[in-house]
Chains A and B, each alone.
Chain A
Amino acid sequence: MATIVQFENVGLRYGTGPETLSDVSFSLGAGSFYFLTGASGAGKTSLLKLLYLAQRPTRGMIRLFGEDAVTLPRARLPGFRRRIGVVFQDFRLVPHLSAADNVALPLRVSGVPESDVEAPVREMLAWVGLSDRAHARPATLSGGEQQRIAIARAVIGRPEMLVADEPTGNVDPAMAERLLHLFDSLNRLGTTVVVATHDLQLINRIAGAHMMRIEQGRLSDPTGSLRFPPRDA
Chain B
Amino acid sequence: MSDATASRAGRRLLDNGRQTRAMRWVMAVMLFLTVLAGALGLGTWSAVAGLDSQLAGRMTVQLLGATDPAVRAVVDAVQQVPGVRAVRAVPRAEMAALLQPWLGDAGLDADLPIPVVIDIDVAGDTGSVGDAVTARVGALAPDARIDRAARWLGPVRSFIVSLAWLAGALVVLMATATASIALLTARSGLDTHRDTINVLHMLGSTDVQVSRLFQRRIALDTLVGGAVGTVAAAGAIALISARVQALDAVLVSGVALGPVDWLLLAALPLLFTGLAMLFARVAILAALRRTL
Q: Check if B249 is an interface residue, CB within 8 A of chain A.
A: no
With contacts A101-B9, A108-B2, A114-B4 taken as known, whether A92 is within 8 angstroms of B195 at the C-beta atoms is: yes
B interface SS class: helix
- In the complex, the answer to whether B9 meets A109 with C-beta atoms within 8 Å is no
User: Would you list which residues of chain B between 89 and 125 have a CB under 8 Å from chain A?
Assistant: none
Partner of A96 from B12, B202, B205, B206 at Cβ < 8 Å: B12
- In the complex, the answer to whether A109 meets B4 with C-beta atoms within 8 Å is no
- In the complex, the answer to whether B292 meets A81 with C-beta atoms within 8 Å is no
Q: Check if B1 is an interface residue, CB within 8 A of chain A.
A: yes
With contacts A74-B289, A109-B200, A114-B4 taken as known, whether A97 is within 8 angstroms of B13 at the C-beta atoms is: yes
User: Would you list which residues of chain A between 98 and 118 have a CB under 8 Å from chain B?
Assistant: 101, 104-106, 108-114
- In the complex, the answer to whether A108 meets B204 with C-beta atoms within 8 Å is no
- In the complex, the answer to whether B202 meets A54 with C-beta atoms within 8 Å is yes
Question: Closest residue of chain B to A81, judged by CB?
Answer: B204
With contacts A78-B205, A101-B9 taken as known, whether A56 is within 8 angstroms of B292 at the C-beta atoms is: yes
Q: How large is the interface on A (under 10, 10 to 19, 20 to 34, 35 or more residues)?
A: 20 to 34
Partner of A94 from B1, B4, B196, B201 at Cβ < 8 Å: B196
In the complex, A97 Cα to B9 Cα: how many Å? 8
Contact with A along B52-68 (1 / 0, CB 8 A): 00000000000000000
Residue with the greatest number of chain A CB neighbours at <10 A, chosen from B9, B12, B13, B198: B9
Q: Check if B158 is an interface residue, CB within 8 A of chain A.
A: no
- In the complex, the answer to whether B203 meets A96 with C-beta atoms within 8 Å is no
Question: Closest residue of chain A to B11, judged by CB?
Answer: A96
Q: Check if B199 is an interface residue, CB within 8 A of chain A.
A: yes
Q: Check if A142 is an interface residue, CB within 8 A of chain B.
A: no
User: Would you list which residues of chain A between 47 and 95 have a CB under 8 Å from chain B?
Assistant: 52-56, 74-75, 77-82, 86, 88, 92-95
Residues of A within 8 A of B199 (CB): 92-94, 105
The distance from the CB of B234 to the nearest CB of chain A, in whole angstroms, is 37
- In the complex, the answer to whether A106 meets B204 with C-beta atoms within 8 Å is yes
Q: Check if B15 is an interface residue, CB within 8 A of chain A.
A: yes
Residues of B within 8 A of A53 (CB): 292
Residues of A within 8 A of B13 (CB): 94, 96-97
In the complex, A227 Cα to B201 Cα: how many Å? 31
In the complex, A215 Cα to B7 Cα: how many Å? 47
- In the complex, the answer to whether B204 meets A54 with C-beta atoms within 8 Å is no
Q: Check if B134 is an interface residue, CB within 8 A of chain A.
A: no
Residues of B within 8 A of A105 (CB): 9, 199-200, 203
User: Would you list which residues of chain B between 1 and 53 have a CB under 8 Å from chain A?
Assistant: 1-2, 4-5, 8-9, 12-15
Q: Check if B79 is an interface residue, CB within 8 A of chain A.
A: no
Q: Check if B241 is an interface residue, CB within 8 A of chain A.
A: no
The distance from the CB of B284 to the nearest CB of chain A, in whole angstroms, is 15
Residues of A within 8 A of B2 (CB): 108, 111-114
Residues of B within 8 A of A56 (CB): 292
Q: Check if B180 is an interface residue, CB within 8 A of chain A.
A: no
Partner of A97 from B4, B12, B202, B289 at Cβ < 8 Å: B12
In the complex, A52 Cα to B9 Cα: how many Å? 25
In the complex, A74 Cα to B209 Cα: how many Å? 14
- In the complex, the answer to whether A52 meets B12 with C-beta atoms within 8 Å is no
Residues of B within 8 A of A81 (CB): 201-204
Question: Closest residue of chain B to A111, judged by CB?
Answer: B2
In the complex, A109 Cα to B6 Cα: how many Å? 10
Residues of A within 8 A of B203 (CB): 81-82, 105-106, 109, 153
- In the complex, the answer to whether A96 meets B204 with C-beta atoms within 8 Å is no
Partner of A111 from B1, B9, B200, B292 at Cβ < 8 Å: B1
Residues of B within 8 A of A95 (CB): 196
Partner of A108 from B1, B196, B292 at Cβ < 8 Å: B1
Residues of B within 8 A of A88 (CB): 202
Q: Which residues of B contact A (CB under 8 A)?
A: 1-2, 4-5, 8-9, 12-15, 195-196, 198-206, 209, 289, 292
* Known contacts A54-B292, A81-B204, then 8 further A-B pairs from the complex at CB < 8 Å, ordered by chain A residue: A82-B204, A92-B198, A94-B196, A96-B13, A108-B1, A109-B209, A113-B2, A113-B4
Provide 6 A-B residue pairs closer than 8 Å at the C-beta atoms, listed in order of the A residue. Answer: A78-B204, A81-B202, A97-B9, A109-B200, A114-B2, A114-B8
